[in-house]
Amino acid sequence: MEPAPPAIGVFDSGIGGLSILREIQAQLPGEDLIYFADQAWVPYGSRPLEQVRERAVTVAADLIRRGAKLVVVACNSASAAALHHLRQVYPEVPFVGMEPAVKPAAEHSDRGVVGVLATAATFQGELYASVLDRHANGVEVHEVAAAELAMLVEDGRFTDAKEALRGLLQPLIAAGIDRLVLGCTHYSFLSDEIRAVMGPEVELVDPSAAVARQVGRVLAAKTQPGRNGQIAYLTTGDPARLGSQLAALFGIDAIVQPVELG
Ligand code: DGL
């Protein structure tokens, strides 16, 4: 039997990064993917950055040990805390991370007023500051840090999430934004609820497809054409729970392997 080609590792605190995984699978169907949900640690977004940084190194180390040729940090909070550090710790491994998509939002905003919805961790740290510095010139940016939303998505509580969004998004409606950046990968699964609250005038900016394109660019000629890639699902939490989440979100019946990281 041929040895398995190296895979792309994708990680998040939970199911949020599945929004990125789906895009990578659609754009690079020949690639084997390893999805790592660190559900024993979810949520990342309300933890101190140093703690998330250390944990991200542990998770990335596990993916690299499993043969990942590229690691996607499919989590804005972990990218804010650790992306720069991960590149220093593993200079030989390419990392693709997330940053709030202020650039396209600012470029396409007619009113010059945009909103960003993300976790507290994402707004801390240098990455977000540098995003504003580089891309928000002349544009008003209104931020809302959502503490509980990612967990409501993890728990499949979409009605409660919509209720929470009514309060959270009020300041952005009052500010008159016309673009809303989804600054946490879990929020892709709340697009309908967010649209229902914000109304049709406000466009949501979801970076999932752009992140997948970046993965393709980084791999360049090293992609695997003409084959069907496999996906392995791992969790530090309860495999049965991730299995039901995958069934509920995508209607797939996947085998989920437990991981112990200590
Ligand atoms: N999905 C993660 C992000 O993009 C955050 C969820 C969490 O707080 O763990 O920021």
Residue 179 clears pLDDT 90, i.e. is over it: yes
73: helix, coil or strand?
strand
pLDDT of 21 higher than 80: yes
Q: Where are the beta strands (DSSP E) in the chain?
A: 7-12, 33-37, 68-73, 95-96, 113-118, 140-145, 179-182, 203-205, 231-235, 256-258
List the residue whose alpha carbon is closest to atom 8 of ligand 1: 45
From the CA of 45, give the closest atom in ligand 1: 8
Residue 225 has pLDDT above 80, yes or no: no
Find the 85 Cα to ligand 1 centroid distance in Å. Answer: 18
Distance 87 CA to ligand 1 centre (A): 20
pLDDT recorded at residue 223: 65
Q: Can you give the pLDDT at residue 93?
A: 97
* Pocket test residue of 119, 122, 148, 208 for ligand 1, highest count of atoms within 8 A of CB: 119
Residue linked to tokens 């084997």? 32
Distance 47 CA to ligand 1 centre (A): 10
Kindly indicate the confidence band of residue 3, based on its pLDDT and cuts at 50, 70 and 90.
low
> For residue 227, what pLDDT band results from cuts at 50, 70 and 90?
confident
pLDDT band at 226 (very low <50, low <70, confident <90, very high): confident
**Does 224 score more than 90 pLDDT?**
no
Mean pLDDT of 103-130: 96
Average pLDDT of the residues in 138-147 = 96
Confirm if 100 and 128 have CB atoms less than 8 A apart: yes
User: Ligand 1: which atom is nearest the Cα of residue 77?
Assistant: 10
Residue 220: what pLDDT? 83
> For 154-165, what is each residue's pLDDT tens digit?
999 999 999 999
Tell me the residue type at 211: V
Q: How far apart are CA 94 and CA 8, in angstroms?
A: 10
CA distances from 185 to 99, 159, 213, 255, 262 (A): 10, 19, 16, 23, 25
Distance 208 CA to ligand 1 centre (A): 14
* 237 within ligand 1 shell (Cβ under 6 A): no
User: Starting from the edge strand earliest in sequence, which strands make up the sheet with 68-73, in order?
Assistant: 95-96, 68-73, 7-12, 33-37, 231-235, 256-258
Sorted by sequence, the CB contacts under 8 Å of residue 122 that are 6+ apart come out as 45, 76, 77, 79, 80, 100, 128, 145, 183, 184
At residue 251, the pLDDT reads 96
Going by pLDDT thresholds of 50, 70 and 90, the confidence category of residue 4 is low
Give the residue numbers marked as catalytic.
Answer: 75, 184
pTM (predicted TM-score): 0.96
